[in-house]
Amino acid sequence: MRLVAWGGDERMKGLVQAAKQAGWDAVQAGFKRGDDPGKTDAVALPWPHSFKDGKLTGTQVSQKEVMDAVGTCSVLLTGSGTEDQMLKKAERLVRPEEDEMFLRFNAKLTAEGALLSILRHSKGALLGKMGLITGYGRIGQELTARLCAMGMFVVVCARSEEQMRMAHGAGAHPVPLSEMAAVCEQADIIVNTVPARVFSKPMLESIRLNTPIIELASAPYGLDLDEAVRIGLEVVVESGLPGRYAPLDAGAALFGCIQRAVKEEEK
């Protein structure tokens, strides 16, 4: 099998390395004028954003130039911003955000990177401290397990009864999101995983100024960043951690998506 990865960051390097280790003929195309990577079975474009403002992520190359260079292939891994004409070049599209195995592994990388950020900004041991985690999806679950194992008293604020039962089973203290205001002022560390404004202005004002807030969600984030800064809170935005904290492993996980898609094609 031959794979060509176009553009992107260190994740694409990790993707190519993983493909080679699996015995694939894999290259990372630099995209110079006249480049011809040859016939390919699989093509990987940058993820989560393949194109932004019509340019291949990490380059100044237009989407049309990419379409001209990329031939028809069996499998195309792609992120956002890819036009329909590009998608028609593949027999099968690979969308990592729809691959549960990938999402679970990505959550583990995110939690590990978040733990590093928490340790850096807490300026002290976590043992015996109180941590507040908002949201109990994949990332919230992974991070809760790690913080509980380190001896923190972890409070998880979640929406559903099922999530709260899961959090309790993992060793955390569950609290409904509707009652989160009573917890904010007691926390030594706050980690948000919810991409929605769950922190009201009164909640932000109740948080101690020496309590770091680690923001793991994407925009619009769990709080008003400008308001938090105005109050004097320490907010650390850590969106997209896998690509920054462990890009080679994140790239290997992307290759795993391609492998699973190829196996599905062979059935």
For 167-192, the pLDDT digits (tens) are 999 999 999 988 999 999 999 999 99
Residue 211 has pLDDT above 90, yes or no: yes
- Burial of residue 31 (number of CB atoms within 10 Å: 0-12, 13-18, 19+): middle
Closest CA to 217 of 204, 236, 203, 189: 236
Torsion of CA 12, 20, 27, 52, to 10 degrees: -20
CB 221 within 8 A of CB 196: no
Residue 221 has pLDDT above 90, yes or no: yes
Over range 233-260, report the average pLDDT: 96
CB 118 within 8 A of CB 87: no
Q: Check residue 29 and give its pLDDT.
A: 79
Q: What are the structure tokens assigned to 157, written together? A: 């604020």
- Whole-model pTM? 0.92
- In degrees and rounded to multiples of 5, residue 153 shows phi and psi of -90, 105
DSSP string, the chain: -EEEEES-SHHHHHHHHHHHHTT-EEEEE---TT------SEEE--SSBSEETTEETTS--BHHHHHHH---EEEEE--BT--HHHHTTEEEEE-GGG-HHHHHHHHHHHHHHHHHHHHHHH-S--TT-EEEEE--SHHHHHHHHHHHHTT-EEEEEESSHHHHHHHHHTT-EEEEGGGTHHHHTT-SEEEE--SS----HHHHHHS-TT--EEE-SPTT-SS-HHHHHHHT--EEE-TTHHHHHSHHHHHHHHHHHHHHHHHHHH-
Alpha-carbon gap, residue 242 to 263, rounded angstroms: 25
Q: Check residue 24 and give its pLDDT.
A: 97
Q: How confident is the model at residue 75 (pLDDT cuts 50, 70, 90)?
A: very high
CB 21 within 8 A of CB 61: no
Q: How confident is the model at residue 36 (pLDDT cuts 50, 70, 90)?
A: low
For 134-172, the pLDDT digits (tens) are 999 999 999 999 999 999 999 999 989 999 999 999 999
Q: Which residues pair with 43 in a beta bridge?
A: 4, 76
Q: What are the structure tokens assigned to 53, written together? A: 């403002």
Over range 221-248, report the average pLDDT: 96
